[in-house]
Structure 1
Amino acid sequence: MSKPIIIDCDPGIDDAIAILLAIASEELDVKLITTCAGNQTIEKITSNALKLVSFIGEEQIEVAKGADKPLLRDLVVASEAHGESGFGEIDLGEPTCSVSQRSALEAMRDVILTSDQKVAIVAIGPLTNIALLVKSYPEVVAKIEQLSIMGGACFGGNRTPVAEFNIYVDPEAAQIVFNSGIPITMFGLDVTHQVPMFKEEIERIRHIGNQTGKIVAGMLDFYFRGDRVDAIHDPCAVAYLIDPSLFTVIPCNVEVETKGEFTRGQTVVDKNNITGKQKNANVAFEVDRERLVEMIYEAIKKLK
């Protein structure tokens, strides 16, 4: 039986690849996509989610709009990484489906509480929606099987010297989520930077022979720097739900810095158990890159 999942995202190039990977997987059943402002504004990233499901002919997947800003801070976007549209220079055309009449929080609550199985959540943007969900509807926590997060870092950030972008955008939300009691697996920069993608791999995707291969390769072209795409971040959080053996994870205590002058959004990962605090996340530190890249290739091959 396939695993029911919700994807909470801010698409985003690597978000798009993560969504495609999930939809193509026989192991996963995408029940809902929710959006949260991050890589771009809520209007742009919600439109991107609708365009993506429309493009691949999966209009039946509900897309619900979520938070338009962090809990306590002004929104920071990543147009330098994802372009003004969020999808680099790729135009998927206008969506053929509409955003849900339900808010992201209502839709997540209903999917989780009415599911026969526990639901996994893939959170690949800022954690604003997830924090609001557990605070607004604490009864959902017991029915969430796990939360697979792309965010954070043990050894250095990409938005600041110590903070990864998703956690930096809304550190207060991240702090709530890591203290929620939900089983968490964290895919931070320590592992995602072990998944570069090289020119020959992008060309292989481009020449699969379908439309999806061409648009994914076009998105990756926007990411290309020097001789590679430096990291394929968000698909890691989906790939783990399909095949956990791809990754080496270590149980750790993770705290989120919300007050530091220079350390906003740092995930303080107690890998060596210095504090003795309760371990609240499995943190990924190693990945089988070749198998993951092949998984992405095979997923794209199944789509239109």
Structure 2
Amino acid sequence: MARRMPVLVDTDPGQDDAVALLLAMALPDRFDLLAVTTVAGNVPVDLTTANALRIADLAGRPEVPVHRGAEAPLVLPLETAEFVSGPDGLAGAGLPPPRRAAAPGHAVKAIVRILRAAPEPVTLCPLGPLTNIALALRIAPDILPRIERIVLMGGALGLGNITPAAEFNVYVDPHAAAVVFGCGRPITMLGLNATLGAMARHDQIEAFRALGTATGRAVHGMLTRPRPGGLGTEGHPMHDPCVIGFLLWPELFTGRDCHVEIETGSGPLRGRSTVDWHGRLKRPANAHVIDRIEAGPLFDRMIAAVSVLP
């Protein structure tokens, strides 16, 4: 039997976070999902926690612990994105309230406890602002060897989405991102430059509905909801599922090792991820930066994977 990869997903659901969680929960033979930890980002943390619980209910995975995490960035005031995700973060999903409460204990303490107790190093999958991960690294540096790698959605090789310079997750808590990118563990960065190419076509979105399941209907509803700025005329970009997709099907992703530096200042470059793609600075690489994704096969495989869910 193939090894089950031990993973911990840190997230701020968010529609595409929800699809990433569903993909991870659909494959218990591939992932030992140790916990889901939540952070403020797309919406405040009480809502992201409820949303993670709602997704676990939808997937039929009540055994997966969900821990509530940081309610604000390390230094800056919280900025959220209801204008994209809707007032509860899961606009279009049509899901009922969660059936259970979050697991006891703060997410940061849970991350530290789980990593210390794990029989083998764990892959961390941050899908939102990196506040929880940075706090865990700061209060318990002994967990560093217990991290196999960090595969995250955040940053950009070029333009941002929340400002001209910055991608949302890094913009919300740039100080946390600087801590994580400086931690010395292997990092794979799936930034906007790559994930905007992972476009779910209209026929693929329709294929979720055609599954005839509650999961398929919820995903279809989230991906066809009205969105600002004319997004989705050619389909729907699915940023966060790329993290789980990379773990499952790395052959669909290409990139290179680079040095990435995070701008923590308060000016217009706040949250910029400067990727030294051509090695001009001669500094050691601290991340494997993905720049191309084979989107068609990725979404076909994703649809097949979640077809097993209720």
Q: TM-score range, shorter-chain basis?
A: over 0.9
Whether 1:296 and 2:294 are equivalent positions in the alignment is no
Match of 1:27 in 2: 30
Q: 1:200 aligns with which of 200, 203, 220?
A: 203
Q: 1:17 aligns with which of 6, 19, 22?
A: 19
1:271/1:265 CA distance change after superposition, 3 Å = same
Whether 1:121 and 2:127 are equivalent positions in the alignment is no
Whether 1:258 and 2:258 are equivalent positions in the alignment is no
Matches within 5 A, 1:57-72: 57-72=60-75
* Of 170-179 and 287-296, the range deviating more from structure 2: 287-296
Aligned AA for 2:274?
V
Whether 1:236 and 2:242 are equivalent positions in the alignment is yes
Match of 2:253 in 1: 247
Matches within 5 A, 1:48-59: 48-59=51-62
Mapped contact 1:20–1:299 kept (Cα < 8 A): no
User: Following the alignment from structure 1 to structure 2, what is the Cα–Cα distance between the partners of residues 243 and 110?
Assistant: 29
Q: 1:281 aligns with which of 261, 265, 287?
A: 287
Specify the SS of the correspondent of 1:77. coil
User: Displacement of 1:223 after TM fit?
Assistant: 5.9
Mapped contact 2:200–2:237 kept (Cα < 8 A): yes
User: Following the alignment from structure 2 to structure 1, what is the Cα–Cα distance between the partners of residues 87 and 304?
Assistant: 29
Specify the SS of the correspondent of 1:5. strand
Mapped contact 1:172–1:258 kept (Cα < 8 A): yes
Match of 2:82 in 1: 79
Q: 1:164 aligns with which of 167, 178, 195?
A: 167
Specify the SS of the correspondent of 1:21. helix
User: Following the alignment from structure 1 to structure 2, what is the Cα–Cα distance between the partners of residues 15 and 243?
Assistant: 18
User: Displacement of 1:113 after TM fit?
Assistant: 1.2
Give the paired residue count. Answer: 304
Give CA deviations for 1:83-131 in whole Å, capped at 9, x if unaligned: 0010013231121121011110111112111111210010000000010
Mapped contact 2:25–2:59 kept (Cα < 8 A): no
Q: 1:272 aligns with which of 278, 285, 309?
A: 278
Runs ≥4 residues deviating over 3 A: 223-226
User: Following the alignment from structure 1 to structure 2, what is the Cα–Cα distance between the partners of residues 195 and 90?
Assistant: 21
Mapped contact 2:204–2:300 kept (Cα < 8 A): no
User: Following the alignment from structure 2 to structure 1, what is the Cα–Cα distance between the partners of residues 133 and 226?
Assistant: 28
1:2/1:238 CA distance change after superposition, 3 Å = same
User: Following the alignment from structure 1 to structure 2, what is the Cα–Cα distance between the partners of residues 190 and 4?
Assistant: 28
Root-mean-square deviation (Å)? 1.2
User: Displacement of 1:40 after TM fit?
Assistant: 0.1
Return the TM-score normalized by structure 1.
0.97
What is the identity percentage for the equivalent residue pairs of Structure 1 and Structure 2? 37
User: Following the alignment from structure 2 to structure 1, what is the Cα–Cα distance between the partners of residues 101 and 234?
Assistant: 36
Match of 1:4 in 2: 6
Mapped contact 2:181–2:187 kept (Cα < 8 A): yes
User: Following the alignment from structure 1 to structure 2, what is the Cα–Cα distance between the partners of residues 241 and 163?
Assistant: 25
Mapped contact 1:37–1:126 kept (Cα < 8 A): yes
Match of 2:138 in 1: 135
Mapped contact 2:78–2:172 kept (Cα < 8 A): yes
Mapped contact 1:55–1:95 kept (Cα < 8 A): no
User: Displacement of 1:56 after TM fit?
Assistant: 2.0
Aligned AA for 1:19?
L
Give CA deviations for 1:12-35 in whole Å, capped at 9, x if unaligned: 000000001111123212110000
* Of 246-255 and 108-117, the range deviating more from structure 2: 108-117
User: Following the alignment from structure 2 to structure 1, what is the Cα–Cα distance between the partners of residues 11 and 232?
Assistant: 28
Return the TM-score normalized by structure 2.
0.96
Q: Which runs of 5+ in 1 are unaligned?
A: none
Q: Which runs of 5+ in 2 are unaligned?
A: none
